[in-house]
């Protein structure tokens, strides 16, 4: 046997052994779930349908999740992007919209027609749908009941990648303990258990662990769940949410703390120092200066750039100590992760599209969506398309609509001007109408140049029709009218898009359950044979 | 139901309007701050720490408001029953705002907003000294008791210039009067600490907490006193 043949055989044996180990870690409650098996069968059927299909293995997978980036958000952001470039707008595409492989994704949770991020991201990361509000556990769990989570935990693609020896990373502009990023690494019967102070005494006594602790102790807990495996932990975790990692003591404050006492933890633990002690090769950073100073050979980074969520893309200049952009973080994450010959798994979330929508501020949502598209473009440019599967999707949509009959090139944030007209049209009530509206939410606000979408929360709900004749609705601070008054605009139940490029991307097609996303990644990486 | 006093308070505290520019009435006697208020003739070294108690009166109703000031922090207690409001000024001149709901033992934390927000409600002088406008009249008196007193077409403003603190304001038939002042650092710290253990909800997360009925009631209560003044100045 030549050395080459011997080496190939050894690799094959090793791969087989790894695959066995991989499949062995999947619990029966996960592989036995109808959601899991159906989604797996869907991917197998798609592969079989393709006469020329050859299983394509990717070395790396990047999953981009635009939180709340529904189809209408994509369309509006696409038009906005073009108009900002001086074009009519409708003809353009966001960076990922031109990819050939796309699908529509059904987002409902097991117990909810309109889903939340916890249930949807668990579907994407673990291959089975679950209930609203729970993370990394199946639908047999009762939300908020620690005991019910025992034995119902499921394994995530990030964990399988770790076990496989790949490098792993998480980037989010929301708190890194928020539902979407948490579903990549945590198991929690309640998405709100971001630190120990969020949990009941009963839950703590029953042995449940808060989400921030699960991130910092990820390696320990994964190895404990599957004796015999040896993982090296998440290499990149960047986002907001510092408060959940710091003790409730002023002495632990970061230099740019916005609260007198920044930390929320009531157990006295400082998880940032614990993380630094755990990983000698790790660098903990909390501001833009620290980010910029990261050494080129940094092997591991924990970046917590804000006490809570990071800034909106349009508001980033207003941060006390400065924050990296989602583009900056994506590039840095890839730079750190792609040194691993075993490949990497990276999840990047644009978390604040969702928040701007909740606040009823379309301008903010579109601004963050465009920044998200820029990050995706940067990732494409920074990776080899022959070896990296990139998926772009959302967890759910929002109730923003694009309607009326505005003429081509009409400002997407503007009032409707009909074809052949120059002045805004009026509705039956004699008032002008904007192209973008919300079905429900906080309603109208004219906050001018204010780029903080959440500013409207300091003002009362004001739903219904308003006279917009003298109002510039294209400003960053304009909040669209809403029909139904609610304290916060809601998610929608409509399908969202899935866009794929790279090895294995051809499996993104048709209208699929959200749990299929996991199986596409699995197929590409061969995580579970 | 919004109380009259809540509306009055909003007008008294949250409106800058244009009183400073309004023509002054003439012929009124100078404003005299009662000695019982306890304003020292010599200001303490650290006047960034104070506790001021006010009486708000309108339409036969009265309510007491406690204002605590600690460097870049301000706490208002009593403007609404079971509600306390906290603001902290950040180094970049933005303000963090937290509402504490005593009846629920919880708080809602707002994202930092501009120092001079479009509502006028975040004017730091209005928050830390209850003085949305600083009267441009020349102050009389010396030291800590120096008082600028100005009549306007809407009423009257008296302002302790060395303390950057409203002493008296009358407008739209309502009055707010300083009735007590102290600089007890320990008591001030204690007032700020009182709600330290309240769990806080970031307002950006409200949309993901649709099943939290208590939070919905807190939010509804948040705006009971604000409905009359949503426009910018």
What distance, in Å, lies between the first and last C-alpha atoms of chain B?
Answer: 26
Nearest to B71 by CA among A263, A249, A260, A256: A260
A86: CB partners within 8 A, 6+ apart: none
Taking an 8 Å cut-off on Cβ atoms, the answer to whether A308 and B206 are in contact is: no
pTM of the complete model: 0.86
Contact residues, chain A, for B204 at CB < 8 Å: 308-309, 352, 355, 358-359, 454, 457
Angle between helices A516-525 and A117-126 (to 10 degrees): 30
What is the rounded distance in angstroms from the CA atom of residue B95 to the CA atom of residue B113?
5
Q: Is A117 a catalytic residue?
A: yes
- Radius of gyration over every alpha carbon of chain A, rounded to an integer in angstroms: 23
User: Does the CA dihedral A178-A185-A139-A189 come out positive or negative?
Assistant: negative
Q: Which domains does chain B have, with CATH numbers?
A: 5-17+45-232 (2.50.20)
Is residue B92 less than 8 Å (CB to CB) from chain A? yes
Query: Nearest CA to CA, how far is B35 from chain A (Å)?
Result: 35
- Closest partner residue to B207 among A264, A308, A488, by Cβ? A488
Query: Nearest CA to CA, how far is A448 from chain B (Å)?
Result: 8
For residue A491, what are its two tokens?
């998610």
Q: How far is CA B205 from CA A1, B109, B212, B219, in A?
A: 62, 10, 11, 13
On whether the CB atoms of residues B230 and A229 are closer than 8 A, the answer is no
Contact residues, chain A, for B232 at CB < 8 Å: 448
Query: Nearest CA to CA, how far is A39 from chain B (Å)?
Result: 27
- Closest partner residue to B91 among A192, A320, A354, by Cβ? A320
Nearest to B88 by CA among B48, B49, B128: B128
For residue A495, what are its two tokens?
């399908």
What is the rounded distance in angstroms from the CA atom of residue A194 to the CA atom of residue B200?
12
Query: Nearest CA to CA, how far is B161 from chain A (Å)?
Result: 27
Q: What share of chain B is helix, strand, coil (3-state, %, to 5)?
A: 20, 35, 40
Query: Nearest CA to CA, how far is A355 from chain B (Å)?
Result: 6
Taking an 8 Å cut-off on Cβ atoms, the answer to whether B209 and A197 are in contact is: no
The pLDDT value given to residue B20 = 40
On whether the CB atoms of residues B115 and A447 are closer than 8 A, the answer is no
Q: How far is CA A478 from CA A413, A436, A450, B31, in A?
A: 9, 11, 8, 44
User: Does the CA dihedral A307-A313-A318-A320 come out positive or negative?
Assistant: positive
On whether the CB atoms of residues A325 and A312 are closer than 8 A, the answer is no
Across the A:B interface, residue pairs with CB atoms under 8 Å apart total 99
Write down the catalytic residue from A117, A167, A453, A456: A117
For residue A315, what are its two tokens?
């508001």
Mean pLDDT per 10-residue run, chain B (233 residues)?
A: 53 47 50 87 88 92 94 92 90 85 91 56 77 70 86 82 90 89 95 91 85 82 47 28
Residues paired with residue B149 on neighbouring β-strands, in sequence order:
B158
B35: CB partners within 8 A, 6+ apart: none
Taking an 8 Å cut-off on Cβ atoms, the answer to whether B88 and A259 are in contact is: yes
Nearest to A215 by CA among A246, A172, A181: A181
Q: Which CATH architecture has domain A3-399+497-525?
A: 3-Layer(aba) Sandwich (3.40)
Residue among B99, B123, B199, B202 with most chain A CBs within 10 A, to mutate: B202
DSSP H or E run through B79: strand B73-80
Query: Nearest CA to CA, how far is B217 from chain A (Å)?
Result: 10
The pLDDT value given to residue B220 = 77
pLDDT digits (tens, 9 = 90+) for A367-381: 999 999 999 999 999
Domain ranges of chain A: 3-399+497-525, 403-489
The pLDDT value given to residue B219 = 80
The pairing of beta strand B61-70 with beta strand B73-80: antiparallel
Taking an 8 Å cut-off on Cβ atoms, the answer to whether A455 and B211 are in contact is: no
B111 to chain A: nearest residue by CA? A454
Q: How far is CA B34 from CA A363, A450, B39, B179, in A?
A: 52, 43, 9, 8
- Closest partner residue to A452 among B73, B113, B202, by Cβ? B113
**Torsions phi, psi of A199, nearest 5?**
-105, 150
A47: CB partners within 8 A, 6+ apart: A53, A55, A507, A523
Nearest to A257 by CA among B165, B73, B127: B73
Mean pLDDT per 10-residue run, chain A (529 residues)?
A: 40 44 82 92 80 75 98 98 98 96 97 96 98 97 96 98 97 98 98 95 97 98 94 98 96 88 95 97 96 92 96 89 95 96 98 97 98 98 97 98 98 98 97 98 94 85 96 98 94 98 95 98 92
On whether the CB atoms of residues A389 and A500 are closer than 8 A, the answer is yes
The pLDDT value given to residue A516 = 98
Contact residues, chain A, for B214 at CB < 8 Å: none
Contact residues, chain A, for B223 at CB < 8 Å: 459-461
Taking an 8 Å cut-off on Cβ atoms, the answer to whether B97 and A117 are in contact is: no
Taking an 8 Å cut-off on Cβ atoms, the answer to whether B192 and A455 are in contact is: no
What is the rounded distance in angstroms from the CA atom of residue A363 to the CA atom of residue A80?
9
Is residue B3 less than 8 Å (CB to CB) from chain A? no
Is residue B216 less than 8 Å (CB to CB) from chain A? yes
What is the rounded distance in angstroms from the CA atom of residue A394 to the CA atom of residue A373?
12
What is the rounded distance in angstroms from the CA atom of residue B92 to the CA atom of residue B115?
9
| SS3 assignment, position A71 | helix
Is residue B117 less than 8 Å (CB to CB) from chain A? yes
On whether the CB atoms of residues A211 and A195 are closer than 8 A, the answer is yes
Is residue B146 less than 8 Å (CB to CB) from chain A? no
DSSP H or E run through B202: strand B200-202
B118 to chain A: nearest residue by CA? A447
The pLDDT value given to residue B2 = 44
A399-437 burial code (b ≥16 CB/10 A, e <16): bbbbebebeeebbbbbbbbeeeeeebeeeeeeebbbbbb
The secondary structure of residue A100, as a DSSP letter, is S
Q: How far is CA A39 from CA A48, A53, A513, in A?
A: 14, 18, 7
Is residue B114 less than 8 Å (CB to CB) from chain A? yes
On whether the CB atoms of residues A362 and A76 are closer than 8 A, the answer is yes
């Amino acid at each position: 046997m030549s050395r080459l043949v011997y080496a190939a055989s050894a690799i094959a044996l090793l791969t087989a052994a790894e695959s066995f180990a991989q499949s062995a870690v999947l619990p029966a409650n996960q592989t036995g779930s109808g959601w899991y098996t159906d989604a797996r069968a869907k991917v197998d059927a798609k592969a079989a349908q393709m006469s020329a299909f050859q299983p394509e293995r990717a070395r790396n997978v990047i999953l981009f999740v635009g939180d709340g980036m529904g189809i209408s958000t994509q369309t509006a952001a696409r038009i906005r992007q073009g108009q900002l470039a001086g074009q009519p707008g409708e003809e353009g595409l966001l960076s990922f919209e031109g990819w050939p492989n796309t699908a529509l994704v059904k987002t409902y949770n097991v117990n909810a027609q309109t889903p939340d991020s916890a249930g949807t991201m668990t579907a994407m990361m673990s291959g089975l749908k679950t209930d609203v509000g729970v993370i990394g556990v199946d639908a047999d769990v009762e939300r908020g009941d620690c005991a019910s989570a025992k034995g119902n935990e499921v394994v995530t693609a990030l964990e399988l990648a770790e076990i496989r020896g790949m490098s792993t990373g998480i980037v989010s502009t929301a708190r890194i303990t928020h539902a979407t990023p948490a579903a990549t690494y945590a198991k929690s019967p309640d998405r709100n258990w971001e630190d120990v102070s969020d949990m009941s005494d009963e839950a703590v006594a029953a042995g449940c662990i808060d989400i921030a602790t699960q991130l910092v102790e990820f390696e320990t807990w994964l190895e404990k769940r599957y004796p015999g495996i040896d993982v090296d932990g998440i290499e990149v975790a960047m986002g907001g949410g510092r408060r959940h990692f710091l003790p409730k003591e002023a002495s632990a404050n970061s230099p740019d703390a916005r609260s007198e006492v920044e930390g929320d933890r009531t157990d006295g633990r400082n998880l940032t120092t614990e993380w630094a002690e755990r990983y000698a090769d790790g660098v903990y950073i909390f501001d833009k200066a620290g980010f910029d100073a990261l050494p080129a050979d940094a092997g591991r980074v924990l970046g917590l750039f804000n006490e809570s969520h990071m800034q909106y893309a349009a508001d980033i200049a207003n941060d006390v100590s400065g924050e990296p952009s989602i583009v900056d973080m994506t590039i840095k994450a890839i730079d750190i992760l792609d040194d691993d010959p075993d490949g990497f798994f990276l999840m990047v979330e644009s978390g604040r599209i969702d928040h701007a929508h909740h606040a009823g501020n379309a301008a903010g949502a579109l601004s963050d969506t465009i920044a998200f598209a820029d990050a995706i473009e940067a990732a494409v440019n920074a990776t080899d398309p022959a070896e990296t599967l990139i998926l772009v999707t959302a967890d759910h949509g929002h109730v923003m609509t694009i309607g009326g009959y505005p003429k081509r090139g009409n400002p997407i944030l503007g009032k409707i001007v009909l074809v052949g007209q120059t002045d805004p049209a009026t509705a039956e009530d004699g008032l002008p109408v904007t192209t973008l509206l919300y079905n429900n939410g906080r309603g109208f606000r004219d906050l001018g140049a204010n780029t903080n979408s959440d500013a409207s929360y300091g003002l009362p709900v004001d739903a219904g029709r308003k006279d917009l004749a003298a109002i510039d609705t294209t400003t960053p601070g304009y909040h669209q009218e809403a029909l139904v008054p609610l304290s916060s605009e809601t998610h929608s139940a409509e399908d969202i898009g899935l866009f794929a490029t790279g090895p294995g991307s051809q499996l993104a097609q048709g209208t699929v359950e959200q749990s299929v996303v996991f199986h596409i990644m699995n197929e590409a990486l061969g995580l579970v044979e | 139901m919004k109380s009259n006093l809540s509306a009055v308070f909003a007008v008294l505290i949250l409106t800058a309007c244009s009183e400073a520019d309004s023509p002054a009435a003439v012929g009124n006697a100078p404003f005299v701050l009662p000695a019982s208020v306890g304003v020292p003739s010599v200001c303490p070294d650290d006047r960034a720490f104070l506790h001021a108690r006010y009486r708000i009166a309108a339409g036969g109703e009265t309510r007491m408001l406690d204002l605590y000031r600690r460097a870049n922090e301000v706490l208002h207690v009593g403007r609404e029953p079971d509600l306390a409001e906290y603001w902290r000024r950040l180094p970049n001149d933005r303000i963090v705002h937290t509402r504490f709901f005593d009846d629920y033992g919880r708080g809602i934390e707002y994202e930092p907003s501009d120092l001079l927000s479009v509502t006028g409600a975040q004017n730091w002088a209005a928050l830390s000294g209850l003085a949305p406008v600083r009267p441009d009249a020349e102050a009389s008196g010396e030291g800590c008791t120096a008082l600028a007193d100005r009549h306007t077409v809407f009423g009257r403003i008296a302002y302790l210039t060395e303390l950057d603190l409203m002493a008296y304001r009358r407008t739209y038939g309502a009055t707010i009067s300083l009735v007590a002042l102290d600089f007890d650092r320990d008591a001030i710290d204690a007032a700020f600490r009182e709600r330290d253990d309240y769990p806080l909800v970031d307002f950006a997360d409200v949309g993901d907490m649709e099943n939290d009925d208590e939070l919905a009631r807190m939010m509804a209560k948040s705006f009971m006193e604000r409905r009359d003044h949503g426009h910018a100045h």
